[in-house]
Amino acid sequence: MKAITLTLSLLALLGSAASGFFYIQIGNTKEALQNQLSAEQTKAAGLKSDLDKTSEERDGLQTRLTAVDGELGDTKSKLTASEARAVQSARESTQLKSIVAKAEADTQRLNADLASLRSELVRARLDAEVANPAELERYKQIVATLEAQLASLNSTGASVGTTSAGTPAGPALNVRTSAARVAAVGPKSAFVVLELGTADGVKAGQKFLIARDGKVIADATVSDVKDTYAIAQVNPATTKGSLAAGDVASGQK
């Protein structure tokens, strides 16, 4: 009986000791787990703070992106408008160049016609001066017709010879005195008739050099000048060969 009681007592002691051990062990584990939980909670709080901050930055970036998209849309609209204006300007420039080219071509044609009429007018007047009385009236009519055509060409040339900016291009004949044509030559090259006159600034007493192929073959002095032609007396001492219609006369200052 005593042995059983002793055994039970020992078992009770061992159970108490085991219970105490496990109690202490569980307490340590619980404390460790609580510490770990607390650390994880702290870490989670930090992560949540970082997440909130990241969300705020994302919202800010989204707002900026929306603003940039708006600015980009405005820029695209302005660029489209600028491109449209550039295309329109290029088209207008092309049209303007075409108009200027046509005006220049018309001016050249009118100047050529004007020079031809001047030449015909000079010859007609010269023939009228030396014609017999029976033909004088007919030559006067020819001169009147040529003068009317010449006035018409001068008027047309003035309107065509205007630049696109509205500034007159200037008369094409204002430099004719530097390279005028000889319209006719008198007997024995005593005088020449030049295709320019008072309208070109020519005055009596003005000297001209007569040249052919770039070589001076005589000089002459204006003795009589009309609106569209002039008669110049040739200095025989300077004559180098015979003169001919088509030679070039250059005025001297």
**pLDDT tens digits for 113-147?**
666 666 666 666 565 555 455 555 665 666 666 66
Output the DSSP codes for 159-218.
HHSB-TTS-B---TTTTGGGSEEEEEE-GGGSEEEES--GGGT--TT-EEEEEETTEEEE
Rounded Cα gap, residues 74 and 82, in angstroms: 12
The length of the chain is 253
pLDDT confidence tier of residue 172, bands split at 50, 70 and 90:
very low
**Least confident segment among 96-110, 156-170, 234-248:** 156-170
pLDDT at 249: 92
* % of the chain exceeding 70 in pLDDT: 70
Which helix or strand (DSSP H or E) is residue 125 part of? Answer: helix 2-130
pLDDT digits (tens, 9 = 90+) for 223-252: 998 888 889 999 999 999 889 999 999 887
229's tokens: 């032609």
Please provide the average confidence, as pLDDT, over all residues in the chain.
Answer: 76
The distance of Cα 240 from the centroid of its chain, to the nearest Å, equals 52
What is the per-residue pLDDT across 173-226, written as a single tens digit (0 to 9) for each? 345 667 788 988 888 888 999 988 888 889 999 999 999 998 999 999 999 988
Q: Which residues of 99-121 are buried (b: 16+ CB within 10 A; e: fewer)?
A: eeeebeeebeebbebbbebbbbb
The CATH number of 174-253 is which of 3.40.50.1980, 2.60.40.1940, 2.30.30.60, 2.40.10.410?
2.40.10.410
pLDDT of 159 higher than 70: no
Q: Return d(Cα 101, Cα 160) in angstroms, integer.
A: 11
d(CA 68, CA 186): 88
pLDDT by residue (tens digit) across 52-62? 888 888 888 88
